[in-house]
Amino acid sequence: MKSCPRCTYPLEEVTHKEVELDHCRRCGGSYLGPEGGPELFGPFVDPAVWAGSEIAKDLGRWQLHCPTDGSALKAYEVAYADESVEIDLCPKCRGIWLDSEEGKALRDIVMNAGQDETTGLSVKDVRSGLIGYIFQLISQFPLEVWNPIHHRPRATLALIGLAGAVFLVQFADDFGSLTEQFALVPADIRSGRSLWTLLTSMFLHAGILHLAGNAYYLYVFGDNVEDYLGGRVYLALYFASGLAGGVLQVVTQGDPLIPIVGASAGVAGVMAAYLVIFPRVKIYQMFRIFRFRVRVAWFLIFWIGWNIIGAIIGGGEVAWMAHIGGFLAGALFAYPFRVRPLNQVFSRT
């Protein structure tokens, strides 16, 4: 039986997010394999990201021993601003020992440091240069400063691809019978008819700009949410948010004969999940010709506030309540999956 390198208590094999690890019930520490940290907390805790950077200091200590192969663990201090944490790595099996709350602390420190362009953690690419500025000047769309992913976002790409394929059929049909048959009409839902349109309407769009906007926001925010939650949970979040937004729009819309199309409610749910999981990430945002960086939490709070104002004022062709319903559903769905220290995840009640 493996023993805790910190307190020698027997380690218990546990599973979290389909990742197997060894956890100590006495001191709350956990030992993870080389892929365990990135799978549970995201790429921020991957030693390949921070071990060679200026925020990591080799302490030159080898006090603890790997519970897997008995090798001495190498100690690092990872620090940024006024936060720091000490991490122990196995040079042989590349596993990582995390004391009770070190996993989340390490994630937050590296995430914060990566938003600071002077640390060298964030990748300097087209987003931070002239091309990124021109793109934002034209589109006014946000761009992430730095939020790497560990896996290819297959579910996100599949949703975008399916919406694009359906749009081509709509376009070929001149937005006729397909749209009429599968759009969400509140009067039908209120009468108990065509309930499937709560789902099918999520893949229809009113025009190319409508599709492009939803696809862009889904990709920018969805790739990281999918990377953290996993594809199956991510799809459940997306469709649950879309259905919740559709239902709220149905029960509140004044004219029940106006059809509703678009993936906006599902996308809003993904954006809310991003807020729950990555509140410290920063984005580049435009105000006319001026570009600045701001925490995504402030951007999304402003976005949902704008939708609430739109719902109160009314008018236009925007399904404001669908956005609000999807956002609220996404936040509630994602909350149990928020990042927590492993000792809280495995604590006995």
Of 64, 99, 122, the residue that ends a domain is 122
The answer to whether position 342 is within a domain reads no
How is 34-49 classified by DSSP, letter by letter? TTHHHHHH-GGG-HHH
> Both 134 and 266 in a single domain?
yes
- Categorize the per-residue pLDDT at 348 as very low, low, confident or very high, splitting at 50, 70 and 90: low
Q: How far is CA 193 from CA 116, 119, 254, 259, 325, in A?
A: 53, 57, 19, 14, 21
pLDDT of the residue at 45: 92
> Both 134 and 109 in a single domain?
no
- Categorize the per-residue pLDDT at 349 as very low, low, confident or very high, splitting at 50, 70 and 90: very low
Q: Mean pLDDT across the stretch 92-101?
A: 93
> Both 94 and 231 in a single domain?
no
What pTM was computed for the model? 0.92
pLDDT of the residue at 46: 93
Question: Which tens digits make up the pLDDT trace of 31-46?
Answer: 999 999 999 999 999 9
Number of domains comprising the chain:
2
Tokens representing 177 are 């019978």
> Both 158 and 292 in a single domain?
yes
Q: Mean pLDDT across the stretch 273-295?
A: 94
Structural domain boundaries, residue 181: 130-337
Residue position matching structure tokens 């004391």: 99
Of 122, 141, 157, the residue that ends a domain is 122
Range with the poorest average pLDDT among 64-73, 93-102, 142-151, 313-322: 313-322
How is 180-217 classified by DSSP, letter by letter? HHHSB-HHHHHTT--TTHHHHGGG--SSHHHHHHHHHH
Question: Which tens digits make up the pLDDT trace of 153-171?
Answer: 999 999 999 999 999 999 9
Q: Could you give the CA distance from residue 74 to residue 60 in angstroms, rounded to a whole number?
A: 7
> Both 68 and 208 in a single domain?
no
The answer to whether position 208 is within a domain reads yes
Q: Could you give the CA distance from residue 329 to residue 184 in angstroms, rounded to a whole number?
A: 19
> Both 116 and 138 in a single domain?
no
Q: Mean pLDDT across the stretch 3-21?
A: 93
Range with the poorest average pLDDT among 19-33, 126-140, 145-159, 291-305: 126-140
Q: CB under 8 Å to 54, separation ≥6 — which residues?
A: 119, 120
| Residues 265 and 193 sit within 8 Å (Cβ to Cβ) | no
Better-scored residue on pLDDT, 219 or 177: 219
> Both 204 and 325 in a single domain?
yes
pLDDT of the residue at 262: 95
Q: Give the CATH number, domain containing residue 319.
A: 1.20.1540.10
| Residues 269 and 326 sit within 8 Å (Cβ to Cβ) | yes
Of 87, 122, 157, the residue that ends a domain is 122
> Both 87 and 233 in a single domain?
no
Question: Which tens digits make up the pLDDT trace of 47-82?
Answer: 999 988 999 999 988 889 999 999 999 999 999 999
Question: Which tens digits make up the pLDDT trace of 312-345?
Answer: 988 778 999 999 999 999 999 999 999 998 888 8
Residue position matching structure tokens 């220290």: 341
> Both 207 and 318 in a single domain?
yes
The answer to whether position 347 is within a domain reads no
Q: How many CB atoms lie within 10 A of CB 187?
A: 15
Residue 79 in 3-state DSSP? strand
Burial grade of 232 (CB within 10 A; 0-12, 13-18, 19 or more): exposed
- Categorize the per-residue pLDDT at 10 as very low, low, confident or very high, splitting at 50, 70 and 90: very high
> Both 181 and 298 in a single domain?
yes
